[in-house]
Amino acid sequence: MGNAQLSASFYTNNHLSKVGVGYEFNEKLWSEVRFYSGTNIHGITPEVVLNYNFRRKEYYDAYIGGGLVVNYFDGIVIQAGVLIKPIQELPNLSLIIELQPLYEGGYNQMFLNGFGGLRFRF
């Protein structure tokens, strides 16, 4: 990958879902703005993360990262995940498996979230 790329993603679990728009700076570093769904206009909850691909292979990428989430949740997130590329003919399509602890400052509590989803790089 020589040029930066945009991506779109969808994450879900039993309680939450979110959609994201990402930007890859290079092969190792990428950012994403994610928005939690299921909220009214005043409850829109953005999450801004920066991720580092520590392993890139033909059929998967593994990453770690961190960021902030504000509004409905207010806190710090740290995530680790794998992007699995299951279809050789569609290398820009990935299945997401992500583990994301969230320290929620308003409740002074730690939550552990797991997400599955899809990501497509344009």
Four-residue CA torsion sign, 101, 51, 40, 73: positive
Q: Which residues contact 55 (CB under 8 A, 6 or more apart)?
A: 61, 62
Domains and CATH numbers, the chain: 5-121 (2.40.160.20)
CA dihedral 52, 80, 12, 36 (to 10 degrees): -60
Report mean pLDDT in 10-residue bins for the chain, 122 residues: 80 94 96 89 90 96 97 91 95 96 89 96 94
Q: What is the pLDDT of residue 3?
A: 60
